[in-house]
Chain A
Amino acid sequence: MKDLAEAALNAAQMKGASYADVRLDERVQQDVTVKNGQLAAVSDDASEGLGVRVLVDGAWGFAGSARLDIDEVHEVVDRAIRIARASARARSTPVDLGPPVTSRGQYKTPVQRDPFSVPLTEKVELLLRADQAMASAKGVSIREGSMEFIKQKKIFASTEGAYTEQELYESGAGIEATATSPDDVQNRSYPNSFGRHQGAGGYEYITAMQLDRHGERIGQEAVALLTAPQCPSGVKTLILDASQTALQIHESCGHPTELDRVFGMEAAYAGTSFMTPEKLNLLRYGSPRVTITADALTPTGLGTFGWDDEGVPAQRSYLIKEGLFVGYLTSRETASVLGQQSNGTMRADGWNRIPLIRMTNVSLQPGDSSLEQMIAETKDGVYMETNRSWSIDDKRLNFQFGTQLAYEILNGKRGRMLKNATYAGITPEFWNSCDAVAGQAEWRVWGLANCGKGQPPQVAHVAHGAAPARFQNVKVGILK
Chain B
Amino acid sequence: MKSMEASRLTDQAELKRFVDRLLEASPAQQTEVLVTEWDSALTRFANNGIHQNVAERDVSVRVRVVKDGKTGVASINQLNETAAQDVLRRAIAIADLQPKGELVPMPGPAKSQPVEAWSDATASATPEERADFVEAICAKAGRAGLKAFGAFSTGAEQLAIANSLGVFHHHRSTEATINTVVMGEAGSGYADRSAIDVRELDKDDLASEVIDKAQRNQNAQPVEPGDYEVVLEEYAVAEMLEFLSFIGFGALAAQEERSFMRLGERITGENIDIWDDGLDPSGAPMSFDFEGVPKQKVQLINHGVASGLVYDMQTAQRAGRQSTGHGLPAPNTDGPFAVNLFMAPGSTPKPELTTDIKRGIWVTRFWYVRVVQPKASIITGMTREGTFLIENGKITRPVKDLRFTQSILEALNSTLAISQSTKLQISEYLGASRVPALRLKAFTFTS
Contacts and interface: CB of A to CB of B under 8 A. Distances in A.
Interface residues of B, number: 87
Nearest to B48: A92
Contact of B75 (A46, A183, A424): A46
A478 interface: yes
B347 interface: no
Contact of B46 (A62, A178, A268, A392): A268
B102 interface: yes
A142 interface: yes
A106 interface: no
A63 B55 contact: yes
A394 interface: yes
Interface string A326-361: 000000000000000000000000001110000000
Contact of B58 (A119, A268, A352, A479): A352
A264 B256 contact: no
B40 A60 contact: no
B127 A86 contact: yes
A70 interface: no
B147 A184 contact: no
B414 to A, nearest CB: 15
B387 to A, nearest CB: 11
A43 B61 CA distance: 13
A389 interface: yes
Interface in A16-67: 31, 33, 35, 38-49, 51, 59-67
Interface stretch (B282-290, B363-371, B390-398): B363-371
B46 A424 contact: no
Contacts of B151: 268-269, 455
Given A64-B56, A86-B130, A264-B147, A393 B258 contact: no
Which size bracket describes the interface of A in this complex? 35 or more
A67 B72 CA distance: 26
B52 A60 contact: yes
Interface string B98-128: 1111100000000000000000000000111
Contacts of A265: 46, 51-52
A354 B41 CA distance: 12
Interface stretch (B89-97, B165-173, B229-237): B89-97
Contacts of A35: 333
Interface stretch (B23-31, B176-184, B294-302, B415-423): B176-184
Contacts of A420: 372-373
Contacts of B258: 142, 178, 180, 185
B42 interface: yes
A49 B45 CA distance: 26
A392 B368 contact: yes
Contact of A91 (B42, B49, B55, B374): B49
A210 B128 CA distance: 56
B358 interface: no
Interface in A124-145: 124, 141-142, 144
Contacts of B86: 46
Given A49-B58, A63-B56, A268-B179, A43 B74 contact: yes
B63 to A, nearest CB: 10
A271 B401 CA distance: 13
A65 B58 contact: yes
A46 B63 CA distance: 12
Given A42-B94, A42-B98, A79 B55 contact: yes
Interface string A432-451: 00000000000000000000
Interface string A196-214: 0000000000000000000
Contacts of A60: 51-53
Interface in A75-110: 79-80, 82-87, 89-93
Given A185-B257, A424-B403, 13 more contacts: A39-B98, A41-B73, A44-B72, A44-B91, A49-B58, A65-B57, A87-B131, A93-B49, A264-B149, A268-B46, A391-B382, A391-B403, A400-B447
20 contacts: A33-B333, A44-B73, A63-B56, A64-B56, A66-B78, A67-B57, A67-B78, A83-B127, A86-B128, A90-B50, A91-B49, A120-B98, A184-B375, A267-B181, A391-B368, A393-B382, A400-B446, A475-B447, A479-B373, A479-B405
Interface of A: 31, 33, 35, 38-49, 51, 59-67, 79-80, 82-87, 89-93, 119-121, 124, 141-142, 144, 178, 180, 182-185, 263-265, 267-269, 271, 352-354, 388-394, 398, 400, 402, 420, 422, 424, 455-457, 475, 478-480
